[in-house]
Structure 1
Amino acid sequence: MKNFYKVFIFLFMIYAIFMSYYLFQTHQALPSSYAGGPADPATFMTSQQLQTATIFSRIKDFLFFMGVPWEWAIYLFVLGTGLSTAFYFIAKKIHKRSLFLQASIYVFLLSIVMFLLQFPLKYYSYKVSRDYGISVQPFEAWMTDQGKSILLDLVITIPMVWILYTIIRKSPKKWWFWFWLISIPLTIMMYFIQPVVIDPIFNDFQSLQNQELKGEILALAERADIPADQVYQVNMSKKTTAMNAYVTGIGSNARIVLWDTTLNKLEKDEILFIMAHEMGHYVYHHIYWMLLGSIIASFFLFYFVYRLVHWVVRRFGHYWGIERVAELNSLPVFLLLLSLLNFTISPIENTISRYSERAADEYGIRMTHNPDAAIRSFQKLTINSLTEPNPPELVKVFLYTHPTMVERLYTISNETKQIQKQNTEKRTKE
């Protein structure tokens, strides 16, 4: 095991050096076909704005690429130092019979360790956002949100861990399948309660104050057959200068939401395009497809975890004090494998997401008949949020659920040219 940890540390250092060089020493060339058009950053950003956005984005990207293996390192640390087994013994000592209480104590102790060891990266990410003016949230408010996240995670995780280990003990060979079945209604419930229960815990929602804009947005929603009679604005300006808008929820819980930063920084026609784009996700049932995809992906994830976790415990369990998979001290092994597998499949998920975002862009333009507003909104989003317009390929593959800004702008400008050409040819024939 000592050799294993030495190899892991060595590989982590090599990986960190490679990612540092890749992100801070390489330049992603802009395709020649983009030059001089709306997708060319030089046409809508100053050299200083582009440089600042690039540096900020690369730092945040580096923190992401360090954060993922650091999470794996924490799980290995908890296992290798015997903390996981110590937490389990503490939980059993406090209550010998109740698996739910044991799971509650164990998950609480593990969560505290995870938070403390991940805190330096989280805090540095927050500090970078503050230094570059993206975050305006005071440290105390930021810490309050961190505390809320921990409590919410505990409320969700403890019952799931209890269910998992109860099923493992009752069905050692089929637990992955039964747990997957139980996870389906729980996943659907999360989609349903997210906008009305969870989101308000972190942000203040109120009815959109601009009645004229509200009427035009609801008119778009009516044309899109979205069952909404209200538009919400959320007070994000106390936390960030970034902009956002979204349509979320399923069924009667569907919500149209605008950040107040978006309201303050975009023109009305730009806001209407953004909202039409978000409505495109609803019209194309992207939320339902995402839900279905999540359910299907979890089926394979749980199966592969089942195949791997037993092998890992047989191979390394005696080093970690883990006798059986059915014991709570094996939980970090589950979490490590899930994290590894999720990271592995993230490029596939991101590719699918980028496809749905392109479809929503097209829908937004068709709804508003205003590609110029679409171009202006994306250009302003790029400048305001310090988004790198043309990020490196690895960043796009692992982080981007949306097309890059240069890709979005280039696609929209090309579609605009084609529409204009078709209209010209049609008028000529007439």
Structure 2
Amino acid sequence: MRARRAALVAAVLLLAAFAVVVAVTTPWDVLPERVADPSAGLPAEQVSRAEAFAAALRPASLASLLLGLLVAAVLGLTRLGARLVRAVAAPLGGGWFWQVLLGVLALAVVGRVATLPLSVYGEVVRHRYGLSTRSWGLFARDVVVNLLIDTALTALAVVALVWLARRAARAWWAFAAVGAAALVVVGSFLWPVVIEPAFNSFEPLPVGELRTDLLALAEENGTPVQDVLVSDASRRTTALNAYVSGFGSTRRIVVYDTVLDRLSDEEIESIAAHELGHVAADDVLTGTLLGALGAAGGVALLGWLLTSPALLRRSGADGPGDPRVVPLLLLLVAVGTLVATPVQNLVSRQIEARADAHALDLTGDPEAFVDMQRLLATTNLSDPDPPTAWHRFFGSHPTTSQRVALAQEWRP
């Protein structure tokens, strides 16, 4: 009981530190207090089309989220999940390692199969509205690659956690918390060079005025980049986007190839300036710190929950070192992720607004910014003024109407 209490205390302290960093580093006063034009100046027919697209997609997205959680709950809070973990490892001798490794894979496949019809429906809707250009073969490939990457990373973490619990029954959660924080840091550095190439190809932007201007913009921002790359995003979507990824020698501006066809150079520079605003404010480093604190706090909380007699009894596991605990562990992670989502998005919206303000300061061109936001909303079929509850829970960026209002209020 003393070790369980220590895990709870550590979780409270780590999550309190997370809250302090959020409170101190988040810009809370950037977004305009009121929006005069909820339509963001978009034509009525465009607003109607965006609202129709959202109305077709939101129920499926919410149903997929709830169905995935329901499947995880059924497997994690009954003996069914424990039996599945044992069954898939039986042909290989049933050792704890194979139970964990194959158990994670089996549980991931069950969850993905359960929600796959809703994903297919979502893809049909995106095709219907012209947002998706993926062939069904490429869609299937993306589903499989996503599943394999997510499962491999999850299996690696869960195998390490169960191994620690078997080796250090009282302090496993402390070692696992340190490991989780370290994985977040390493993942932030490896993502642009390991994960991104699994889904897209990148080519240098040809030498010309736009490339020169983007490199100069990064220099003026005080955050020089190593390259400007073009992503072959049009294989999957008609959406417009650009971003900055990497650190130091791997930092680069990435522009969707769809952007080059649709936006003027000034509008592309406005997008790049927004992304450079994240770099100037060290948003990735702050996000990595928050991710590390959140991961460590979450694992410490798992150290408390996975020793709960009531939860262990329902799952059919003897403790955190028992492979049969895997379904319960994955359920708790899913619930924790869901609870953290509105907090994460609240912070994200404020940070994105600060990057918008930085873009306006860096380019001094609010007209190009507004034109770019309206074109993004039109092409991406963004609802300029979504329902408040939906936006607060799922919205990671300010609404188009908020971003346009911010630019209209901006002064040099």
Give the structure-2-normalised TM-score.
Answer: 0.87
Contact 1:309-1:337 within 8 A present in 2 as well: no
Between the two structures, name the one with larger relative contact order (CA 8 Å, sep ≥ 6): 2
Q: Indicate whether 1:273 and 2:247 are aligned.
A: no
State the identity %: 27
Aligned to 2:229, what secondary structure does the other structure show? strand
Q: 1:91-110 to 2 correspondence within 5 Å?
A: 91-96=88-93, 99-110=96-107
- The size of the alignment, in residue pairs, is 381
Cα offsets for 1:137-190 (capped at 9, x unmatched): 111111011111122123212221110101111223322221110122222221
Aligned to 1:256, what secondary structure does the other structure show? strand
1:385 is aligned to 380
Distance 2:305 2:34 in 1: 47
Deviation at 1:32, TM superposition (A): 12
Distance 1:228 1:285 in 2: 14
Contact 1:95-1:102 within 8 A present in 2 as well: no
1:408 is aligned to 403
Match of 1:44 among 36, 42, 45: 42
Could you list the runs of 5+ residues in structure 1 that have no partner in the other structure? 1-30, 420-430
Distance 2:402 2:288 in 1: 27
1:13 is aligned to none
Contact 1:103-1:161 within 8 A present in 2 as well: yes
Deviation at 1:272, TM superposition (A): 0.4
Cα offsets for 1:108-157 (capped at 9, x unmatched): 22222112112112111111111111111111111011111122123212
Deviation at 1:80, TM superposition (A): 5.9
Q: Indicate whether 1:300 and 2:302 are aligned.
A: no
Distance 1:305 1:363 in 2: 39
Distance 2:98 2:375 in 1: 51
Change in Cα spacing, 1:58 to 1:171, as seen in structure 2 (3 Å) is farther
Q: Indicate whether 1:241 and 2:211 are aligned.
A: no
Q: 1:273-352 to 2 correspondence within 5 Å?
A: 273-311=270-308, 314-352=309-347
Match of 2:201 among 176, 192, 204: 204
1:394 is aligned to 389
Distance 1:184 1:135 in 2: 36
Deviation at 1:373, TM superposition (A): 0.4
Could you list the runs of 5+ residues in structure 2 that have no partner in the other structure? 1-31
Change in Cα spacing, 1:295 to 1:57, as seen in structure 2 (3 Å) is same
Distance 1:251 1:87 in 2: 45
Distance 1:99 1:320 in 2: 16
Q: 1:14-413 to 2 correspondence within 5 Å?
A: 34-35=35-36, 39-41=37-39, 43-45=41-43, 47-79=44-76, 82-96=79-93, 99-209=96-206, 211-311=208-308, 314-413=309-408
Change in Cα spacing, 1:69 to 1:415, as seen in structure 2 (3 Å) is same
Change in Cα spacing, 1:137 to 1:221, as seen in structure 2 (3 Å) is same
Distance 2:231 2:174 in 1: 40
Distance 1:272 1:262 in 2: 11
1:192 aligned partner, one-letter code? F
Distance 2:38 2:83 in 1: 57
Deviation at 1:265, TM superposition (A): 0.9
1:426 is aligned to none
Distance 1:209 1:380 in 2: 24
Cα offsets for 1:35-88 (capped at 9, x unmatched): 4xxx4527332x221111012123333333222222221012324664422233
Deviation at 1:286, TM superposition (A): 0.2
Distance 1:123 1:143 in 2: 10
Contact 1:195-1:255 within 8 A present in 2 as well: no
2:39 aligned partner, one-letter code? P
Cα offsets for 1:195-236 (capped at 9, x unmatched): 112111111110112622111000011112224231000011
CA RMSD of aligned residues (A): 2.1
2:286 aligned partner, one-letter code? W
